[in-house]
Amino acid sequence: MGIPKGGEWIVILIVVLLLFGARKLPDLARSLGASTKEFRKGIEEGAKSDDAPGDSTTTEAKTES
């Protein structure tokens, strides 16, 4: 098992066309692209917040004298 080769991709494409139809494929590709973009954006924001010094999620309790 590995990455599908040329002939296998054709079979996969035919199965996808039969399952979803040619009209829905552009919508599926568009939503997949948007999901991928949001996922990458979230990963980048998470990495930035981890690298930022002084940004701690814990808060210190203040005592009054």
Whether 1 is covered by a domain: the verdict is no
Whether 13 is covered by a domain: the verdict is yes
Whether 44 is covered by a domain: the verdict is no
Whether 35 is covered by a domain: the verdict is yes
Domain count, the chain: 1
Whether 63 is covered by a domain: the verdict is no
* pLDDT at 35 (0 to 100): 96
Whether 54 is covered by a domain: the verdict is no
Residue 7 has pLDDT above 60, yes or no: yes
Segments forming the whole domain that contains residue 13: 7-39
Whether 14 is covered by a domain: the verdict is yes
Give me the residue label for tokens 């979803």.
Answer: 20
Q: For residue 33, which of 25, 22, 45 has the smallest C-alpha distance?
A: 25
φ, ψ for residue 23 (rounded to 5)? Answer: -75, -30
* pLDDT at 15 (0 to 100): 93
Residue 16 buriedness (CB in 10 A; 0-12 / 13-18 / 19+)? middle
Taking the whole predicted model, whether its pTM rises above 0.85 is answered as: no
Contact criterion met (CB below 8 Å) for 31 and 38: no
What is the percent of the chain with per-residue pLDDT over 90, rounded to a whole number? 37
pLDDT (average), residues 13-23: 89
**What digits encode the pLDDT tens for the residues 34-65?**
999 999 999 999 888 877 665 555 556 666 76
